[in-house]
Amino acid sequence: MYSVLDKDTIALEIVPYIPKTNRGFAPTVPLVEIVNAILYKLKTGVQWYQLPVKALFDSKVLSWQSVYYHYRKWCLCGFWKDCWVNFLHRHKSKLDLSSVDLDGSHTSAIKGGEQVEYQARKRRKTTNALYLSERQGLPLAMSEPLAGNHNDLYDIEVQFEVVTGTLKDADLSVEGLFLNADAGFDSKDFRQACAQEQINANICFNRRNGDRDRDDYFDKELYDQHYVIERTNAWMDSFRSLLNRFDTTVASWTGFNYLAFIVLALKKFKPFKKEKV
């Protein structure tokens, strides 16, 4: 059976941060095995009811409904984002923050749901979100998902505050960061949002805005490194549950994003051999 992370890593990096509740019944199987089943769903994109639970659990077998129940419970309490913030805080010395890259991504929403609208460029209903990555290409933060009929600059001040807020929660300083963004982010509002955070906005000039001789900062050599976030997008698309959005709730889809962040970072920081059952 394919394993996304070995169980020792799950036990060390994820399980200790799962919130304990006073209500309800305690899990009857190790939390490691439940997280392992959720990771299998994230990577393969298999429908919940088709989870190979007999192969994923060592002793007592949980139904797919029970696995989904735990995943939804942790999504609704914001656990996956909290886990990612804690992870960033613990491993911040391994990050390369010499510069960061921002980009937007439209994800096809196959079954519709919350924050889904038709996107003419994609010719389908999508959900839009902004992603921030560091110089190695590891994702750092994401904005709140928005309906796909909005462009990357929609409500940019609020969404960028969400992105930078994630870094601040992880005790990562945003002051002095060099941020690469493509011409789609060339706006006064976004530049002002960066300036308020004392971030150096290295944004490619949009020809539609004219004024090619502007005094705005732009380093072409630094901007040439912006391709890194495209590689990040490809890494994220390797998780089949993220390549297309089947989750109808924002909380579930966002949870899978943060879980993918954790997996990508762990594979970068702690190489391991795939576990076979």
- Side chain identity at 131, as an amino acid letter? Y
- Side chain identity at 183, as an amino acid letter? A
pTM: 0.93
* In a domain? residue 187: yes
Q: Rounded to a whole number, what is the distance in angstroms from the first to the last CA of the chain?
A: 5
- Partnered with residue 142 across adjacent β-strands are 131
* In a domain? residue 212: yes
- Write the CA distances from 215 to 75, 94, 141, 211, integer angstroms: 45, 35, 29, 9
Q: Find the farthest-apart pair of alpha carbons in the chain and give their distance in angstroms, rounded.
A: 68
pLDDT in tens, 80-103: 999 999 999 999 999 999 999 999
pLDDT in tens, 197-253: 999 999 999 988 776 667 888 999 999 999 999 999 999 999 999 999 999 999 999
> What tokens does 27 get?
């899990």
Kind of pairing between the strands at 178-181 and 200-203: parallel
* In a domain? residue 101: yes
* In a domain? residue 250: no
pLDDT of 275 strictly over 50: no
Q: What is the rounded CA–CA span in Å between residue 226 and residue 58?
A: 44
pLDDT of 128 strictly over 70: yes
Domain containing residue 213: CATH number: 3.30.420
> What tokens does 136 get?
């190695």
> What tokens does 207 get?
């020809």
**Residue 160, domain extent:** 96-243
pLDDT in tens, 16-55: 999 987 676 677 899 999 999 999 999 999 999 999 999 9
